């Protein structure tokens, strides 16, 4: 029989890995809540039309990068490929525009892309992100950029810099795009597998090209800031002041456009200081037209998303000692059936006091039970043998210090600092 495997591009998160995930979850959640963000969870599956409305039919993302299928009732369903659109859908559906604005939300969820798997980019990966809906002020752009940067810093990843840019809005971006088209018509690199097509479909994405042959052409392309209308320019300039006020370093990168059409004005990415934009750790931007595009009331929004697997790769590179000390873990060892019965009672007592404890595996010698204790990294063994049964005591062995002590059964909880 062929061995069963997890689908390509998916991973098991094994117990040894969990400490990284718990650290991320704890750090991100507590930071977001400190800033007044509330958690939101949306379904893993959504109506496929949601993402078609977001990115348009012709875009790569819905065409070939999502898991979209017809369910048994004949409806087209898409596995959530990103966090923002479902939250906008939920905002509209639940009338969240009636809440005091802005609404600050954060999420932590698996997302699915039918993509070629590569390091830190999987077909199923996990994303953390925040969205601020209902206010277009640039102080919120600065807050969101700061949060992404601060979260990574709090995790100990400190060699990072936010790259920021403005791509204008519906009013001024068309001028910029037509300038870009003119520029690239004469200089597009024909040998690039993507750029000639992008020139027709979405010239902004040319700036995103990572092909070596294209980089030089891209470096002298027109600069979006020079084409901003009055309002966008004002928003951009106040963003730079807000970033300064909030105390986050940044670099202006006029090549930065992000892949999605719905971004307007602010776009940003967080990258390691010593490498190019190839290794974006987090990114986001403003999407003031998106909620209206999805059928809701005109509502501004800004957010970032962060691939957790990608962050954990960085975290592991740092080799930081992660505090994984669980609460005292106790192995209960016994010598026969009647001491095992007492052991079971003792275990219930410990569990009621939230002390992690397990009963030794059956049918093993005491020596083998104690070996098992060290293999599961127990801190103590509670031993119940004939003598302990007779005296109504237990023997506690400190497995780190190898000291041993017999105490009355009734004193067990106070020995471990409970009761
Ligand atoms: Zn190219
Ligand atoms: Zn504008």
What digits encode the pLDDT tens for the residues 271-307? 988 755 457 889 999 999 999 999 999 999 999 999 9
Mark whether 65 and 146 lie in a shared domain: yes
pLDDT at 322: 78
Examine the pLDDT at 226 and tell me if it is beyond 80.
Answer: yes
- What is the total count of domains within the chain? 2
Percent of the chain beyond pLDDT 70?
Answer: 94
Distance 191 CA to ligand 1 centre (A): 8
CATH code where residue 375 lies: 3.40.50.800
Sign of CA dihedral 281, 205, 256, 28: negative
State the helix-helix crossing angle for 18-34 and 308-317, rounded to 10 degrees: 110
Residue 36 lies in a domain: yes
Residue 252 Cα to ligand 1 midpoint, Å, equals 22
Q: Do the domain assignments include residue 239? A: yes
pLDDT tens profile 200-215: 888 888 888 888 888 8
Q: Are residues 107 and 254 in the same domain?
A: yes
pLDDT of 55? 76
Long-range contacts of 149-154 (CB under 8 A, 24+ apart): 149/248, 149/270, 150/31, 150/248, 151/27, 151/28, 151/31, 151/306, 152/270, 152/281, 152/282, 152/311, 152/314, 154/27, 154/31
Q: What is the pLDDT of residue 59?
A: 53
Determine the average pLDDT of the residues in 239-267: 90
Banded model confidence at residue 342, pLDDT cuts 50, 70, 90: very high
Q: Which two tokens stand for residue 41?
A: 């969870």
Tell me: do 312 and 333 sit in the same domain. Answer: no
> Residue range 329-357: average pLDDT?
93
Instruction: Give the neighbor-by-neighbor strand order of the sheet with 251-252.
Output: 38-39, 103-112, 124-133, 301-307, 282-286, 264-272, 160-166, 251-252
* CA 130 to centroid of ligand 1, rounded, Å: 31
Residue 65 — very low, low, confident or very high, per pLDDT cuts 50/70/90? confident
131 within 8 A of 57, measured Cβ to Cβ: no
Cα of 212 vs centre of ligand 1, distance in Å, is 8
Domain co-membership, 295 together with 393: no
User: Which has more confidence, 53 or 236?
Assistant: 236
Q: How far is the CA of 128 from the centre of ligand 2 (A)?
A: 30
The pLDDT value recorded for residue 144 is: 98
Angle (CA) 272 31 156, round 5°:
35
Using the mean position of ligand 2's atoms as its centre, give its distance from the Cα of residue 171 in Å. Answer: 5
**pLDDT at residue 58, rounded to an integer:** 55
CA atoms within 13 A on the CB side of 173: 15
Q: How confident is the model at residue 6 (pLDDT cuts 50, 70, 90)?
A: very high
Ligand at shortest distance from the CA of 265: 2
Whether residue 285 sits in one domain with residue 364: no
**pLDDT (0 to 100) of residue 277:** 46
Mean pLDDT for the chain?
90
Compute, in angstroms, the gap from residue 217 CA to the centroid of ligand 2. Answer: 25
pLDDT at 327 over 70: no
Please check whether residue 256 lies inside any domain of the structure.
yes
* Res. 159: pLDDT tops 80: yes
CA–centroid distance, 234 to ligand 1, in Å, is: 32
Q: State the pLDDT at residue 158.
A: 86
Integer CA distances (angstroms), 402 to 359, 396, 409, in order? 20, 10, 20
Q: Does 334 lie in the same domain as 311? A: no
Report if residue 128 sits inside a domain: yes
Residue 268 has φ and ψ, to the nearest 5°, of: -155, 155
| Contact between 238 and 138 (Cβ < 8 Å) | yes
Q: Which domain holds residue 142?
A: 15-172+228-317
Same domain, 334 and 313: no
Taking only the tens place, the pLDDT of each residue in 97-145 is: 999 999 999 999 999 998 776 765 789 999 999 999 999 999 999 999 9
Sheet (strand 45-47) strand order: 45-47, 76-79, 68-70
For residue 64, pLDDT beyond 90? no
Q: How far is the CA of 213 from the centre of ligand 1 (A)?
A: 7
Q: Say which ligand is closest to the CA of 231.
A: 2
My answer on whether 130 and 57 are in the same domain is yes
| Cα–ligand 2 centroid distance for 16 (angstroms) | 50
Q: How far is the CA of 294 from the centre of ligand 2 (A)?
A: 21
In this prediction, residues 244-248 reach a mean pLDDT of 94
Instruction: Assign 311 a pLDDT band (cuts: 50, 70, 90).
Output: very high
| Closest ligand (CA of 169) | 2
CA 230 to centroid of ligand 2, rounded, Å:
7
């Amino acid at each position: 029989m062929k061995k069963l495997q997890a689908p390509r591009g998916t991973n098991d998160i094994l117990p040894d890995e969990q400490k990284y995930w718990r650290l991320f979850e704890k750090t991100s959640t507590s930071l977001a809540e400190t800033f007044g963000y509330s958690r939101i969870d949306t379904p893993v599956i959504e109506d496929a039309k949601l993402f078609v409305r977001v990115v348009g039919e012709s875009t790569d993302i819905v065409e070939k990068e999502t898991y979209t299928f017809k369910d048994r009732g004949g409806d087209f369903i898409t596995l959530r490929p990103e966090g923002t659109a479902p939250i906008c859908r939920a905002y509209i559906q639940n009338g969240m525009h009636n809440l005091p604005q802005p609404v600050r939300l954060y999420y932590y969820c698996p997302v699915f892309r039918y993509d070629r798997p590569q390091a830190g980019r999987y077909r199923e990966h996990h994303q953390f992100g925040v969205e601020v809906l209902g206010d277009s002020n640039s102080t919120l752009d600065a807050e969101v950029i700061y949060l992404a940067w601060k979260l990574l810093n709090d995790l100990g990843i400190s060699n990072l810099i936010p790259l920021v840019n403005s791509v204008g809005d519906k009013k001024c971006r068309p001028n910029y795009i037509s300038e870009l088209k003119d520029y690239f018509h004469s200089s597009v690199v024909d040998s690039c597998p993507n750029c000639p097509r992008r020139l027709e479909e979405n010239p902004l994405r040319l700036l995103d090209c990572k092909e070596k042959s294209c980089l030089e052409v891209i470096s002298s392309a027109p600069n979006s800031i020079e084409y901003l209308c009055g309002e966008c320019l004002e928003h951009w300039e106040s963003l730079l002041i807000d970033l300064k006020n909030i105390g986050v370093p940044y670099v202006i990168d006029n090549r930065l456009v992000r892949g999605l059409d719905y971004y307007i004005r602010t776009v940003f990415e967080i990258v390691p200081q010593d490498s190019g934009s190839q290794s974006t750790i987090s990114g986001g931007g403003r999407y003031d037209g998106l909620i209206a595009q999805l059928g809701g009331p005109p509502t501004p929004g800004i957010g970032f998303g962060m691939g957790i697997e990608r962050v954990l790769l960085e975290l592991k590179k740092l080799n930081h000692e992660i505090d994984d000390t669980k609460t005292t873990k106790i192995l209960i060892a016994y010598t026969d059936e009647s001491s095992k019965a007492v052991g079971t009672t003792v275990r219930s007592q410990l569990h009621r006091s939230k002390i992690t404890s397990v009963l030794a595996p059956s049918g093993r010698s005491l020596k083998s039970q104690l070996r098992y204790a060290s293999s599961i990294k127990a801190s103590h063994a509670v031993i119940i043998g004939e003598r302990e049964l007779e005296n109504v005591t237990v023997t506690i062995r400190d497995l780190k210090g190898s000291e041993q002590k017999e105490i009355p059964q009734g004193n067990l909880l106070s020995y471990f600092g409970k009761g």
